[in-house]
């Protein structure tokens, strides 16, 4: 079976989802980040993972991740941290971020229900050019280390790295990360049932001005 890894950082004001402020306050942005984590945990609750890991940056893991094994993120750039993780685990491993609260168990099912024998890696592209998930049947940090992150060609570069290594890559549904307030509003409309969406609606109805 596959190990599920959620990468997240502690949702503290001034450190999480700061690009949502303004129009949100830094405190509201941090609450949005916390809700994103909770929604992601809820989405993966029924996933038949062999192991659940929180790859965490911070001092206090969210209450919703109780039961997850916590691995502390090391220092370094994001590619170096991801490489460290994939060098530290064994067996099929699937990593998901905390920025897509609209994700569903169905989105993840291919990697957990019946990972096909002819698929070596899974890749979840993001609309901003990055990626929201990556899975490796045989974890190797060198497949990620050195890939420039947070650019509009990050996803294409990462996918090319996997394919250039001779891996057959399964492509998952494209999702939008929550970066700017426009992303948050669009995702809230597409996934109105989420805790994140309800929280954003409450903020937009008070101090956050819609545009």
Please indicate, yes or no, if residue 210 is contained in any of the structural domains: no
The pLDDT value recorded for residue 70 is 96
The pLDDT value recorded for residue 124 is 97
Please indicate, yes or no, if residue 188 is contained in any of the structural domains: yes
Looking up residue 188, the CATH number of its domain turns out to be 3.90.550.10
DSSP string covering the chain, please? -PEEEEEEE---TTTSSGGGTTTS-HHHHHHHHHHHHHHHHHHTTTS--SEEEEEEESSS--GGGTTSEEEE--SS-HHHHHHHHHHH--SSEEEE-SS-TT--HHHHHHHHT---TT--EEEEEBTTSSEEEEEESS--GGGTTTPPPSSTTHHHHHHHHHHHTT--EEE---B----SHHHHHHHHHH-TTSHHHHHHHHHHTTTSPP-
Q: Which domain holds residue 93?
A: 3-204
The pLDDT value recorded for residue 1 is 81
Total tally of structural domains belonging to the chain: 1
Please indicate, yes or no, if residue 60 is contained in any of the structural domains: yes
- pLDDT under 70: residue ranges of the chain: 206-211
């Amino acid at each position: 079976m596959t190990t599920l890894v959620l990468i997240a950082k502690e949702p503290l004001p001034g450190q999480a989802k700061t690009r949502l402020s303004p129009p949100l306050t830094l405190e509201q942005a941090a609450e949005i980040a916390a809700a994103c984590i909770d929604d992601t945990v809820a989405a993966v609750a029924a996933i038949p993972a062999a192991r659940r890991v929180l790859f965490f940056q911070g001092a206090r893991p969210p209450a919703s991740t109780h039961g997850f094994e916590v691995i502390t993120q090391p220092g370094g750039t994001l590619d170096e941290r991801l490489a460290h993780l994939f060098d530290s685990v064994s067996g099929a491993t699937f990593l998901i971020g905390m920025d897509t609260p609209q994700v569903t168990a169905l989105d993840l099912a291919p990697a957990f229900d019946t990972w096909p024998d002819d698929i070596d890696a899974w890749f979840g592209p993001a609309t901003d050019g990055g990626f929201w998930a990556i899975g490796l049947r045989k974890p190797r940090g060198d497949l990620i280390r050195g890939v420039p992150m947070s650019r509009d060609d990050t996803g294409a570069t990462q996918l090319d790295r996997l394919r250039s290594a001779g891996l057959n890559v399964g492509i998952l549904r494209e999702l939008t990360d929550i970066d700017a307030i426009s992303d948050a509003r669009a995702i809230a409309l597409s996934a109105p049932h989420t805790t994140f969406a309800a929280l954003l609606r409450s903020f937009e109805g008070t101090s956050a001005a819609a545009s």
